[in-house]
Amino acid sequence: MKKLVFSACLLLAASACKKEQKPDLVNQHVDFACVHVADSFWSPRLERVARVTIPVCIDQTEVQTGRIHNFENAATGEGGHSGIFFDDSDVYKALESIAYSLTNYPDPAMEATADDWIAKIAAAQQKDGYINTYYTLTGLDRRWTDMDKHEMYCAGHLIEAGIAYNKATGKRTLLDVGIRMADHIMSLFNEQGRHWVPGHEEIELAMVKLYEQTGERKYLDYAHWLLSQRGHGYGYTENGIKDSLNRWNAPYYQDAVPVCDLRSISGHAVRSMYLYCGMCDVAARIAGTGYEEALDTLWEDVTKRNMYVTGGIGVAYCTEGFANDYELPNKEAYCETCASVGMALWNSRMAERTGDAKYYDILERSVYNAMLAGINLDGNLFFYVNPLASDGNHHRKAWYGCACCPSNICRFMASLGNYIYAANDTALYVNLYIGNEAAFKVGKEDVSLAMTTRYPWAGRTDILFRSGMKKRLLLRVPGWCRHFTLSVNGEPVEAAVRNGYASLRGCWREGDTVSIEFDMPVEVVSADPRVKADEGRRAVQRGPLVYCAEQTDNPADIESITLTDSTRLNAVCEPDLLGEVVAVDGVSPSSPDVSFRLIPYYAWDNRAAGKMAVWLKYE
Ligand code: FUB
Ligand code: ZN
């Protein structure tokens, strides 16, 4: 049955699987529609997104909150607006999630729901193409007066959803709504018209997607123009975040300098991530933007001085953003789930731009730790904030007033297959080790593969060629891995590692199997000494996973857990714990008894409430 569904997806996705190589990208990711995830770790999670999490988003949108009523009211002009001014974006992100999910988990009832919402959205669009239920219901005369009111942010999510739904179903109503809104925006704000600095980035990357979808160059140029608006003092807000002089807080909005002069991260974390995505997208398609140096320097700043061991970013509650370099408190960490999704979106683009595996190291860290913690094991409770320590009072919730995170996790997970492979005319890159069956083009060749793995629990992955391939095979060697072995059809082989990829010859026959095995010992890691919060502390990692101590496993105060150089740390397979995990048991040298237990960080707060800590005392 699964196979049949998979073949249908391949047909639908045929165009996605035959993309032309972008000249300024080293490689391009293989579209998730060509990659059927079949993996003991991820498949149950993706199925839960389809069967539980998206239905939660639907229920919240239709029943528990006024999100869909806002569109109904905007269409009739009767009734008021409820919720936050950017709640429309949650509806669009839910639709984008539905679109991705339908590709792998066809669901006619869910598709009918989506069609129903889309009809309501289309009915709410103004004649001039404008669509935003907040202003339609509170006073269209005030639209486009405050750059922090997220009109372009919502439009960006609308466009992304319209493209996704068109690709998944062939239907184009939502895409056309998005195109009309894009054209409306472009008619108002442009070189001859008004300046505008989108207070929350998102529209930039969406315009590039719209260019890819329609082939209309104007959308790409417009994304470039929007980026060029930053750093010239054009920003204005009535009710948004202000500086000490009561003006638009330019650093918060990534608007203090022109984007090609950005060298250090500032302000809001999610906005920064989406901005950097837009910059990558434009730089890959327009020569001479000058964004590359900014992007490379920003990446160093984010990952070396402002990122948690979990891959989470953003510290400050007041700005949902970055603080001083190395200021990374654990209990007070913000680490919004959306910011981790943003890290994945940005790092995958950086990898396409450079062909360097180090970006996938960061993507993997963010996804398997900070992002995955954002959802519980049952798929129906969410963290917005993902601290690295808790007194026992931080718990996932069924929903949030500001509910950006649940649908962001959904859309990311439902399109997880995007991050496994990338290709160019001469090589196939393997970026993540996630079991799958895939069929796609590498250059002009049709390639079909099956990957099997027990990652992240075990280090071995087998890749079976179901077709021949005359291209190099580049296998990412994760940054955490100190030793690995490779074999082809059971015979050990050696391979040079360049840019983080083990590179293998370029002539494969149907039936060949390449196996790569990473040693996956338990490792104790320390933070940069400048991180005050982690002084005298260590964290535990195994493979891509960061571990934590939870009170329910460690009834004595977790603050008393102490690692020493002689503590033995044993990896223990626990098939029945937390949906299957490898736990890490600490045994002190003076006693054979287990003195503490650690579990993967992503799995915390799924049992009895209690304290949690990632960074443990070290003596
Ligand atoms: O403002 C829209 C979204 O809501 C942001 O991305 C999140 O940080 C939250 O503030
Ligand atoms: Zn969020």
How far away, in angstroms, is 399 Cα from ligand 1 center? 14
- Give how many domains the chain has, as a whole number: 1
How far, in Å, from the CA of 163 to the mean position of ligand 1? 22
- Three-state DSSP state, 389: strand
Identify whether 597 is part of a domain. Answer: yes
Ligand 1 contacts CB of residue 336 (under 6 A): yes
CA of 337 to the centre of ligand 1 (A): 10
Q: Does some domain include residue 17?
A: no
The one catalytic residue in 320, 336, 364, 550 is 320
Q: What is the pLDDT of residues 16-63, one digit of tens each?
A: 444 555 557 899 999 999 999 999 999 999 999 999 999 999 999 999
Provide the edge-to-edge strand list for the sheet that holds 436-442: 35-37, 436-442, 445-453, 460-465, 513-518, 484-488, 491-493
Which residue CA neighbors atom 6 of ligand 1 most closely? 270
The response to whether residue 201 sits with its C-beta less than 6 Å from ligand 1 reads no
| Structural domain boundaries, residue 596 | 522-618
CA distance 114 to 91: 10
Alpha carbon distance 120, 83 (integer Å): 18
Catalytic-residue membership of 320: yes
Q: Which residue has the tokens 């002539």?
A: 507
pLDDT for residue 10: 32
Active site residue 404: yes
Establish if 537 belongs to a structural domain. yes
Would the CB of 188 count as within 6 Å of ligand 1?
no
CA distance readout (Å), 353 to 137, 293, 451? 42, 12, 25
DSSP β-ladder status, 491-493 and 513-518: unpaired
Residue to substitute in 338, 340, 407 for testing ligand 1 pocket (most ligand atoms within 8 angstroms of CB): 338
Tell the residue number behind the tokens 């390639």, with chain if given. 447
Q: Quote the pLDDT of residue 3.
A: 29
* Under-50 pLDDT residues of the chain: 1-18
State if residue 175 touches ligand 1 by the CB under 6 angstroms criterion. no
Domain-embedded: residue 535: yes
Catalytic residue among 277, 404, 405, 481: 404
Q: Helices (DSSP H) in 106-216: which residue ranges?
A: 108-124, 133-138, 151-169, 173-188, 203-214
Instruction: Report the percent of the chain where pLDDT is more than 70.
Output: 96
pLDDT of residue 597: 97
Sign of CA dihedral 159, 165, 170, 176: negative
Examine residue 560 and state whether it is found in any structural domain, yes or no. Answer: yes
Judged by its nearest atom, the ligand closest to the C-alpha of residue 386 is: 2
Q: What is the rounded CA–CA span in Å between residue 539 and residue 357?
A: 24
CB 70 within 8 A of CB 58: no
pLDDT, one tens digit per residue, over 266-322 is 999 999 999 999 999 999 999 999 999 999 999 999 999 999 999 999 999 999 999
Per the domain annotation, does 544 fall within a domain?
A: yes
The answer to whether residue 566 sits within a structural domain is yes
Q: What does pTM read for this prediction?
A: 0.96
What was the pLDDT predicted at 511?
98
Domain membership flag for residue 445: no
Residue in 335, 336, 337, 382 to alter for ligand 1 test, most ligand atoms within 8 A of Cβ: 336
CB contact set of 243 (below 8 Å; sequence gap of 6+): 249, 250
